[in-house]
Chains A and B, each alone.
Chain A
Amino acid sequence: MAAGHSILLALGLACTLAACAGPGGHPKDPLEPMNRATFRFNETADKYVVRPVAEVYDLAPLPVKTGVANFFGNIGDVWIGVNNLLQGKVVDGLSDGGRFLLNSTVGLLGVFDVATEIGLEKHDEDLGQTLGRWGVGDGPYVVLPLLGSSNVRDGLSLIGDFRFDPLMQLEDVGARNSVSGLRLISRRAALLGADTAADEAALDKYGYMRSFYMQYRRNQIYDGQPPREKDPDDEDADDGKSATATDAAAPGIDKSSSPDKKENLE
């Protein structure tokens, strides 16, 4: 991981020195040429290695796959709970701890997610989200080798995520690699089906995934309730049709002043 650390630092530095934002490029993606190269590498690795293995894994019976996903989900709950506490979400953090205790015992080492059944919902947290919550900016977009879309903040945070990852505590290197590999394949297999959607939907898959990641992380940091921004490009409904219809239906209600579903931060 130390290597990953220095690569990211070097990237940040190189970018500052060379002011690498090209003309017309995405303001958040000054490293676009290099990112695109890494993206192509990742796509190739996925196509020829990761996806085929996931497809084989996917032939396993559903209860087996569910058990495996639950097992890895369970050992992840501890770190998720710690991050909830770091973000001041004490109730969520305690609930994650409760999930871990319950699923590790009654749920037979996490194979059964009994906690969800009784209403303790699974959360999704990591160090990058915690830093985001603390107000640390995301920095330029970065595509990491094999790990995919990230940014400088989230990429560096992975060092912490890995350090506290229960699987990384395994002493035996062979065992550690096999179990991490299984987790990777289990997660990848869960995405089979969804992954082709991006291929079909995107004019430029790289740009589509970049936008996707940025919106996705913002949503995660705000736990699914990001403040709703008034869309500056939706003001002038110059085809008129929908705007007129709306105004006619609700005279006297100024859209901009209506309380706009901002259940900001919980």
Chain B
Amino acid sequence: MKRITSLFAALIVGLGIQFSAAANTVAPDVLVKSVSDDVIAIVRQDKAIQSGDTRKAVDLVETKVLPYFDFAHMTRLAVGKDWKQASGDQKTILTQEFKTLLVRTYSNALTKYRNQQIDFEPLKAKPEETDVIVRTKVRQPGAKPVQIDYNLEKQGDNWKVYDVLVAGVSLVTNYRDEFGQEVRAGGIDGLIKSLKDKNKQIDPAAAKK
């Protein structure tokens, strides 16, 4: 009897997982487009963000964009081979500080947005793939459009962005040389200190939390 109950329970759990997968999984290209559209619609109407209110832009990014990013993965990529020598606590702090830095930089970029048109390219990936690139292009006069690519990984039912490439330059791995240099000079703690100093320098208010 007990055996049957547990089998039954397993079946229900199994069904539940399948059901939620079917119901909740948003295709990665659809996800990127809907998040971009949302954010741009808000920026277009927000005079404060347009005139450079970074605080407001950060709030927007934190509520609308952050849930779809995997910062632990991004930090691991940025730190590269030295990641292995970091302790659990150090990894948590590194992730937190790197996140602050990226959010701040990205939010400031948003305040520069001026009606550029973004084209979303159709996704070239097979349904069973769990690691895909969503490609977009930002048009600009007199020059080749700027390519912005999002790397996403499927985690359970959800897709999470773990890298963004602007004109082929990874905003994540671009840090690897610098981070490596910091670790060689002062170990993981040296890197943490540099990141904290940098975050304080660009935003004294945010560094206090």
How far, in whole Å, are A253 and B195 apart by their CA atoms in the complex?
37
Cα distance, A24 to B144, chains bound together (Å): 37
Residues of the A chain whose Cβ atoms lie less than 8 Å from the Cβ of B129? 258
B156 contacts which chain A residues (CB < 8 A)? Answer: 245, 248-249
| Contact between B143 and A69, CB atoms less than 8 A apart | yes
What B residues does A253 contact at CB under 8 A? 128, 130
Given contacts A203-B195, A204-B178, A250-B154, whether A231 and B77 have CB atoms under 8 Å apart is yes
Q: Does B68 contact A (CB under 8 A)?
A: no
- Stretch of B8-16, B37-45, B56-64, B162-170 on the interface side: B162-170
**A26 CB-CB contact with B under 8 Å:** yes
Query: When the two chains form their complex, are residues A233 and B81 in contact, meaning their CB atoms are under 8 A apart?
Result: yes
Chain A positions within 8 Å of B177 at CB level = 26, 207, 210-211
Q: Interface size bucket, A side?
A: 35 or more
List residues of chain B with CB within 8 A of the CB of A212.
Answer: 169, 174
Q: How far is the CA of A200 from the CA of B109 in the complex (A)?
A: 10
B104, B112, B131, B182: the one within 8 Å of A203 (CB): B182
A171 contacts the other chain (Cβ, under 8 Å)?
no
Does A174 sit at the interface, judged by CB under 8 A? no
The residue on B at minimum CB distance from A63 is B141
Q: Given A208-B178, A219-B168, A255-B131, decide whether A246 and B144 contact each other with a Cβ distance below 8 A.
A: no
- For the complex, what is the distance from the CA of A200 to the CA of B105, rounded to whole Å? 6
Complex alpha-carbon distance, A218 and B105, angstroms: 24
Task: Kindly list chain A residues whose C-beta atoms are within 8 Å of the C-beta of B128.
Answer: 250, 253, 258
Neighbouring B residues of A204 by C-beta, 8 Å: 178, 181
In the complex, the answer to whether B184 meets A24 with C-beta atoms within 8 Å is yes
Report the Cα distance A204→B73, complex, angstroms: 22
A219 touches B141 (CB 8 A): no
Chain B residues whose C-beta falls within 8 Å of the C-beta of A6 in the assembled complex: none
Report Cα–Cα, A193/B110, bound state, in Å. 10
State whether A216 and B169 are in contact (beta carbons under 8 Å apart), knowing that A66-B142, A242-B153 are contacts in the complex. yes
Contact with A along B140-158 (1 / 0, CB 8 A): 1111110100000111110
- Chain A nearest Cβ from B111, distance in angstroms: 9
Given contact pairs A203-B194, A207-B178, A253-B130, A215 touches B112 in the complex (Cβ within 8 A):
no
CB-defined contacts of A218 to chain B, threshold 8 Å: 168
Chain B residues in 8 Å Cβ range of A150: none
Does A236 count as interface, using CB distance less than 8 angstroms?
yes
B137 to chain A, nearest CB (A): 9
A124 near B144: Cβ-Cβ < 8 Å: yes
Judging by beta carbons under 8 Å apart, are A66 and B167 in contact?
A: no
Assuming the contacts A69-B141, A200-B105, asked whether A234 and B130 have C-beta atoms less than 8 A apart, the reply is no
Separation of A10 and B207 alpha carbons in the complex (Å): 47
Interface 1/0s, chain A 222-266, versus B by CB < 8 A?
Answer: 101010100111101111011001101110010100111101000
Task: Report A25-69 residues with CB < 8 Å from chain B CB.
Answer: 26, 65-66, 68-69
> A242 to chain B: which residues have CB within 8 Å?
70, 72-73, 153, 155, 160
- Closest Cβ neighbor of B70 among chain A residues: A242
For the complex, is A11 an interface residue (Cβ under 8 Å from B)?
Answer: no
Cα A202 to Cα B170 in complex, Å, equals: 13
Please tell me if A87 contacts chain B, counting CB pairs below 8 Å. no
Cβ-based interface call for A123 (8 A):
yes
- Neighbour of B142 across the interface among A72, A201, A210, A216, CB < 8 A: A72
Q: Is the CB of A261 within 8 A of B168?
A: no
Give, as a whole number of angstroms, the nearest-CB distance from A175 to chain B: 21
Question: A157 on the interface (CB 8 Å rule)?
Answer: no
- List 20 extra interface pairs beyond A220-B168, A233-B81, A250-B128, CB under 8 A: A65-B141, A71-B142, A72-B142, A73-B141, A73-B142, A190-B143, A202-B178, A203-B182, A211-B169, A211-B178, A224-B168, A228-B133, A233-B83, A237-B73, A238-B83, A242-B153, A246-B130, A258-B130, A259-B126, A263-B124
- For the complex of A and B, list the 5 residue pairs with the smallest distance between their C-beta atoms, beginning with the closest: A219-B168, A69-B142, A73-B142, A193-B112, A233-B80
